[in-house]
Chain A
Amino acid sequence: MSEAAKVDRQPYWLSAPGLVLFLAMLGTPLLLTFILSFYGFDFTKGIQPGFSLNNYIEVLGDSYFHKIFGRTFAIALAVTVICILLGAPEAYILSRMRNPWKSLFLIVILGPLLISVIVRTLGWALLIGGRGMISELLQALHITDSPFSLMFTTTGMIIALVHVLVPFMVLSVWASIQRIDPQAEDAALTLGASKFTVLRRIVLPQIMPGVLSGSLIVFALTASAFATPAIIGGRRLKVVATTAYDEYLNTLNWPLGAAIALLLLVANVAIIMSYNRFIERRYAKIFE
């Protein structure tokens, strides 16, 4: 074996442990789920091995599922947009702060990520439930007479999801702000631009890659989120992830659950890839 060939193989050996782990822990279950999604199901006899597209036909043809998929992506879109509106300015303001405030606020922003998703969501449930603090406060102030609840509403779900996902947007935008040459803002200013124009014409276009990649993360995580929708939305307001969960654990119709899960995966991947392609085409020339 020549020296060159030896060197050439080295990367494969080095990445082998990771690759094996990836295949065993992600590839295999995914493949099994894929096979499972073509099986049949009978309420008396249970799972029936075989090959049919019935599960897919059922999901794709039923308006019940259409509504759930529609709701899931609508929520994902709403959460993404709100995260952009909150996260991008937040990251910019944060980058302009001085220490120790900068470090302090960074911790505050990353805080939600440090708390268990269940605890955090239950916290929201305590706040926004019919007998929660907000409801009690509104009643005490006589703004409303009946209990006010955001539980089992899309609004409640969006609030809780934004709370946990905004840090991803902030971090993503933060990363692209770090790459901005601060002198470019001074340059625009001295060329006669107002502070607002500098923001709009110089800063915003340069943080767009961060906003777009942050959107990808937030959208993908929202679309496949489970814990928050399960607690805030419950059975009344199902999303795709909770629906798949219910098919698995309540109806015990594993093949249908598998089909739902795979359709979510395919939709997610399709959206993300086309979006990513758009970003690359738009920004490849400008940024390294």
Chain B
Amino acid sequence: MAFLHLENISKHFGEFVAVDNLSLSIEKGEFVSLLGPSGCGKTTTLQMVAGLHEPTAGRISLDGEDITDKQPNRRGLGIVFQSYALFPHMTVAENVSFGLEMRGIDVANRKKKVAAALDQVRLSEFSHRYPRELSGGQRQRVALARALVIEPPVLLLDEPLSNLDAKLREDMQIELRLLQQSIGVTTILVTHDQSEALSMSDRVVVMNKGKVVQIDTPVGMYDAPIDAFVSDFVGKTNLFQGTVSQVGKGTVTVDVNGVPIKAKAENLSNGAAVFVSLRPEKIKLAAAKGNGGVAGEIDAAIFHGDQWLYKVSSALGDIILTEANTGAKPRQRSDKISLTWADGAVRVLVPGEQP
């Protein structure tokens, strides 16, 4: 049986169903992200694991023990809150020490562990500061040290990086992931930021309206989204509505605005309404010379440093695509171009529920 097991849990707030019959198994040492738009129930799920919300139905077990009815102060889980929730009237060291104190650990041991924890997050020099004397990133690391110092079986992270600026957020993603791997602590991360979920996790759980939509590895999730909702939510994509016009062996042709698009797909019948998803980086650009591609015209060229993002209007509709910045002369607005892609790059998706 899995290390942490959520079995058919639901949470109702009056009439509102925040989490609907959710099941999830997490292995020891695994890093799992709950990803979804706001209000999808991901934070409520985390709070039920933490014991701050009681599930309306379902069971939660940890390491074989049913913890559904256990009080939050007896579960011993480490939690990093979105606001960090540091104790403003305690110094950094006192904040980190609090959990150890509650466990009745003696002063000498406490000091040793606090020092080690602060060293781990590179905050040793700040141990006597108060939280308000720290920057956002430092507060975040104090919260992390406070959660980890009690050596929790599971670390719960509730949008821990959402209050940091973009550059710091990327640094912290790497730091957090390395730290998690070196300690080997089982971790659940709640986030609405798909790039965060993709870059840090072993597995991603995409949620929508209180339900699990897809559970997969980041690569699997990105390359093989189960429906149009996941495809749109995880990473950037071009989504086109179309109808299946021809069914072959393991392949289909989908008609999008009169343009036939070939793709690999099973179990589809003629005339079915589907979505076609094309990732921006999987589309190739060529000068318009009749190479069988879809003709288009550049509407906008946006520079992103490492790459160019082009907005193209074509028979399919508006398309975004990216091209690495190789130093070559970029395309200009109004350039006539031709778009091609490999058949395997096209995903045919069922509509899915919209958020």
Contacts and interface: CB of A to CB of B under 8 A. Distances in A.
23 contacts: A184-B88, A186-B50, A186-B79, A187-B81, A187-B85, A187-B86, A187-B87, A189-B73, A190-B73, A190-B78, A191-B102, A191-B146, A192-B74, A193-B102, A194-B73, A202-B87, A206-B88, A206-B89, A285-B133, A286-B89, A286-B132, A287-B88, A287-B132
Contacts of A29: none
Interface size class of chain B, counting residues whose CB lies under 8 Å from the partner chain: 20 to 34
Nearest to B86: A184
B132 A189 contact: no
A181 to B, nearest CB: 5
A183 B87 contact: no
Q: Which of B51, B81, B89, B150 has the most CB of A within 10 A?
A: B89
A187 B132 CA distance: 17
A210 to B, nearest CB: 13
Interface of A: 181, 183-184, 186-194, 197, 201-202, 205-206, 285-288
A124 to B, nearest CB: 39
B130 interface: yes
Contact of A183 (B51, B76, B83, B98): B83
B75 A190 contact: yes
Interface string B44-64: 000000111000000000000
B36 interface: no
A186 B73 contact: no
B150 A188 contact: no
B235 interface: no
Nearest to B152: A190
A193 B98 CA distance: 9
Contacts of B75: 190
A186 B132 CA distance: 19
Q: Which of B98, B132, B146 has the most CB of A within 10 A?
A: B98
A287 B87 CA distance: 11
A286 B94 CA distance: 13
A242 to B, nearest CB: 41
A190 B87 contact: no
B245 interface: no
B88 A186 contact: no
Contacts of A192: 73-74, 76, 99, 102-103, 150
B77 interface: yes
A8 B258 CA distance: 71
Contact of A190 (B51, B88, B89, B133): B51
A127 to B, nearest CB: 41
A183 B130 contact: no
B8 interface: no
Contacts of B78: 190
Given A194-B73, A206-B89, A286 B130 contact: yes
A184 B52 CA distance: 12
A191 B87 CA distance: 12
A186 B72 contact: yes
Contact of A181 (B74, B85, B102, B146): B85
- The list of the 8 closest CB pairs from A to B, nearest first, reads A192-B102, A191-B99, A183-B85, A187-B85, A205-B89, A183-B81, A184-B85, A190-B79
A190 B47 CA distance: 11
A200 to B, nearest CB: 12
Given A188-B87, A189-B72, A190-B75, A285 B52 contact: no
A2 B99 CA distance: 60
Contacts of B85: 181, 183-184, 186-187
B82 interface: yes
A46 to B, nearest CB: 59
B79 A187 contact: yes
A178 to B, nearest CB: 14
Q: Which of B73, B99, B133 has the most CB of A within 10 A?
A: B73
B152 to A, nearest CB: 9
Contacts of B146: 187, 191
A69 B50 CA distance: 56
B98 A186 contact: no
A202 B101 CA distance: 14
A101 B133 CA distance: 38
B282 to A, nearest CB: 42
B75 to A, nearest CB: 7
Contacts of A189: 52, 72-73
A188 B85 CA distance: 9
A251 B272 CA distance: 104
A238 B98 CA distance: 51
Q: Which of A183, A190, A194, A201 has the most CB of B within 10 A?
A: A190
A193 B52 contact: no
